[in-house]
Amino acid sequence: MTAITEWGLQGHSASFSFYLTAPHCERQPGVAISAGSLAHTITIAGPGGPAAAVRLRASGFEAPILFDGTGYARNDLPSPDIWISQQANVGASRYLLPGIFVPWDKNCDDTFEVAVQEQSSIASDLGATMLLAVDARWIAKRTEVVVDSLQSTDQAVALVLAHRADPLSVGGAVPGLRRISQRVSRLTILRSDHGAIGALAFGAEHAAIGLTTTTRHYATAAMRARRRPGLASRVFVSSLFDWFLADDIAGWTAAGSDVVCDLQCCGGLSLAQFIDPDLDVNWHNMHALAHAADYVLGADTFDRPRLFLEQCRRAVSLYGLAGFKGPENPKPQLTSWVLS
């Protein structure tokens, strides 16, 4: 199959959302409203999603909403039929199953294949999208198993990638995601970082992008998510196409390399401003990510991979540049996109 026919089948109506937890929507409805205006859709995570949506709708929020019940991480979600009726009652743009976690099994492909068969059967009966949280090694090391299993069901699927830190830092994960996005129709990537824009570029139908370290991937308790201490904000730096701590950005500024944001959110101000804990960094992060996603999705389906990869290449060329006092080396995910 040629690349043209692969892309011709999908990706033409791709969209993205911001991925917010139900408590975040309750605490900062303004962030949810901004997310809905910048991304046109929001994804609300957790069993409290429909209740949070009711309150947003009551305040005039009209954008489409998706729900990740996070059933792969908990067992207090109602049964699939009830969960879907809860989504329907608040006008979800489509319905997702509660979700299950697919653990890594290095010896056997059955774990993945059986999970897909079971979930696709439930999804088919209920007219829903199946939701699988998968250990990132499945997409990194068993790409063809994932592609073949998902293609065989002919059902819409939403994937959440699980890893203790960045799932796309696992060797093989970026080319795996790229291939899955090209080959699996009606694919959604949920609870992801900016790497999901790459999935959109290569044919995924929808990507839900998180704004915090816990909403940019899923980590099981056994994966022991690694956290850097401190409350400093994480800031998406468009030119470097990655997330950095505001403390680190302030350090580059102090050393003579200021990084400014020319988008409407910051109006040319330094990103070091977010060292101030009273400033809400969400507004900037959403603008910067929406700008990157719109840049790719604004192009013809055929041009999207090239535009995305050029964005990554331009970013990589800035790392370690003579005279730039910022980070010296791109993180593995960014390097992987350039090499993919």
Residues that bind Zn ion (CB under 5 A): 261, 263, 265-266, 284
Cβ at position 266, least distance to Zn ion in Å: 3
Residue number, 263 or 307, with CB nearest to Zn ion: 263
Q: Is 94 left (phi over 0), alpha (psi -120 to 50) or beta?
A: beta
Contact 50, 86 (CB under 8 A): yes
DSSP run (H or E) holding 48: none
Cβ at position 94, least distance to Zn ion in Å: 31
Cβ at position 246, least distance to Zn ion in Å: 12
Residue number, 51 or 266, with CB nearest to Zn ion: 266
Cβ at position 264, least distance to Zn ion in Å: 8
Residue number, 261 or 312, with CB nearest to Zn ion: 261
Residue number, 95 or 252, with CB nearest to Zn ion: 252
Residue number, 281 or 334, with CB nearest to Zn ion: 281
Concatenated DSSP letters of 269-322: EEGGGGGSTTS-SHHHHHHHHHHHHHHHHTS-GGGHHHHHHHHHHHHHHHTT-T
Contact 54, 113 (CB under 8 A): no
What is the b/e burial string over 78-112, where b = at least 16 CB atoms within 10 angstroms of the residue's CB?
eebeebbebbeebebebbbbbbbbbeeeeeeeebb
Cβ at position 231, least distance to Zn ion in Å: 20
Residue number, 165 or 263, with CB nearest to Zn ion: 263
Cβ at position 28, least distance to Zn ion in Å: 18
Q: Which residues, at least 6 apart from 172, have a Cβ–Cβ distance to it below 8 Å?
A: 139, 140, 141, 143
From first CA to last CA, the distance across the chain in angstroms is 19
